């Protein structure tokens, strides 16, 4: 647990809006789906146009680091979708060479684990909680600002 939290990539200050847009644009460049609109960064999926890269700003550093790491292993990887689900990051990719898959899967799982401890609003230490069935990972400050949000009971409080 602590090893994950102490990752040097974690809990950096939130990048500026301009820097975040650069990070997202870099990841959008990895989208090669045939049903992609390159002007909007949207993908036609399940009958809807959706933003292929749609993650909370608080996770911009996680996304940044993950993309750099995967890119170093397989620069031609494809992003199918990057999003938040149940309070955690999801990063669905393809076009990864067979001999790199285990390593890449490990990187993605590590990033997902870190996302569950990182406030999705500000990128500082957060924890999982819930507001009327909606799950979100938030710091104390943003949890207090989010109507009805209650942290999950933790079994190993630090
Ligand atoms: Zn926060």
In a domain, 145, yes or no: no
Instruction: Identify the pLDDT of residue 80.
Output: 86
CA of 64 to the centre of ligand 1 (A): 18
Domain of residue 53: give its range.
Answer: 3-121
DSSP state of 25: H
Select from 119, 61, 70, 123 the least CA-distant residue to 93. 70
Question: Low-confidence residues of the chain, pLDDT below 50?
Answer: 1-6, 8-9, 158
CA of 19 to the centre of ligand 1 (A): 19
Domain count, the chain: 1
Instruction: Identify the pLDDT of residue 1.
Output: 42
In a domain, 141, yes or no: no
Q: Quote the CA–CA distance of 102 and 113 in Å, as a whole number.
A: 16
In a domain, 137, yes or no: no
CA of 131 to the centre of ligand 1 (A): 16
DSSP state of 149: -
Near ion ligand 1, which residues have CB within 5 Å? 119, 121-122, 139, 142
In a domain, 153, yes or no: no
pTM for this predicted structure: 0.85
């Amino acid at each position: 647990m602590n090893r994950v939290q102490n990752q040097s990539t974690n809990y950096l200050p939130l990048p500026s809006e301009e820097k975040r847009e650069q990070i997202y644009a870099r990841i959008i460049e990895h989208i090669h789906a045939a049903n992609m609109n390159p002007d909007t960064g949207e993908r036609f999926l399940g009958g809807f146009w959706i933003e292929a890269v749609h993650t909370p700003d608080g996770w911009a550093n996680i996304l940044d680091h993950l993309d750099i790491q995967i890119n170093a292993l397989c620069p031609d990887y494809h992003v199918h979708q990057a999003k938040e689900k149940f309070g955690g990051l999801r990063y669905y990719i393809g076009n990864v060479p067979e001999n790199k898959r285990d390593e890449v899967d490990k990187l993605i799982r590590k990033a997902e684990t870190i996302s569950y401890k990182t406030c999705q609003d500000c990128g500082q230490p957060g924890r999982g909680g819930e507001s009327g069935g909606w799950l979100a990972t938030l710091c104390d400050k943003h949890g207090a600002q989010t109507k009805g949000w209650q942290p999950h009971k933790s079994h190993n409080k630090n």
